[in-house]
Amino acid sequence: MEHEHLTQKEYPVSERPYEKAQSQGIEALSDGELLAVILRTGTRHQTALELARRVLNLDEKKHPGLLILRQATAEELRQIDGIGTVKAIQLLAIGELARRMSKTARPELPVMRSAQDIARYYMEDFRHLGYEQLLLGMLDHKGRLIGESIMSRGKVNATFVSVRELFLTALRRGAVQIFLVHNHPSGDPAPSDEDIAMTRRAAEAGRILDIPLADHLIIGDLRYTSLRDVMNFSEDI
């Protein structure tokens, strides 16, 4: 049976990983401090942090550091004073989670190679909106979507956008190409004069900054218009 434990308030200030995580961020915690957060309690004679350090030092040759969470058995962990069955299983669970995370492949980023790709991806999100919304999509050098940002929301026919903000956002994300998507709540995707003027400004700025505007789609009700096709970006803006 595990011993009576110290409470968090009885720890010295220097041994309060919860407070450190709150003030400095979870990444500031040492391996021992992270384990102490998981263990939560120590024993009558040791804090959770001291117990965590004993876990990490169980057998430095056989299980160096955090590898103990993947390589040690529950029986080995229970040899540590203060580690009972529950804590041993908690520690092994952390190691198993780490193993499964390492095997989980990152989902493939969607690739936007055409107006059809963009429309297919955003149609259902935009076609039912009762107000205009403008989205900035950001692409890497392979045309993969690496980020998106809603740049404007407004009443019908009242979407405004700062071209400067478009490219500041794209630069912060490291985009090499961008596209725009906005909707017409009327369901008619025909571009207005304002849509064309804004697209022209964005395309010109993209050309100067070497972050080309791939397209600007206007989404209606199961219909869309590609302003790249309407304005023929590749030849004249």
Beta carbons of 119 and 219 less than 8 angstroms apart: yes
Torsion of CA 70, 74, 78, 82, to 10 degrees: 60
Secondary element (H or E) of residue 227 = helix 227-231
Of 132-141, 185-194, 225-234, the one with minimum mean pLDDT is 225-234
CA separation for the pair 49, 36 (Å, rounded):
5
How many Å from the N-terminal Cα to the C-terminal Cα in the chain? Answer: 77
CA-derived radius of gyration, the chain: 28
pLDDT value at residue 47: 85
* Residue range 56-81, pLDDT digits in tens: 888 766 667 887 887 788 998 999 98
> What is the pLDDT confidence band of residue 130, given thresholds at 50, 70 and 90?
confident
Whether the pLDDT of residue 2 is over 50: the answer is no
Q: What is the mean pLDDT of residues 141-149?
A: 94
> What is the pLDDT confidence band of residue 201, given thresholds at 50, 70 and 90?
very high
Q: Which residue has better confidence, 136 or 104? A: 136
CATH architecture of 115-231: 3-Layer(aba) Sandwich (3.40)
pLDDT value at residue 9: 53
For residues 49-75, one letter each, b for 16 or more C-beta atoms within 10 angstroms of the residue's C-beta and e for the rest, the string is bbbbbbbbebeeeebeebebbeebeee
Query: How many residues belong to the chain?
Result: 237
CA separation for the pair 96, 91 (Å, rounded):
9
pLDDT value at residue 145: 96
* Residue range 31-43, pLDDT digits in tens: 888 888 888 888 8
pLDDT value at residue 24: 84
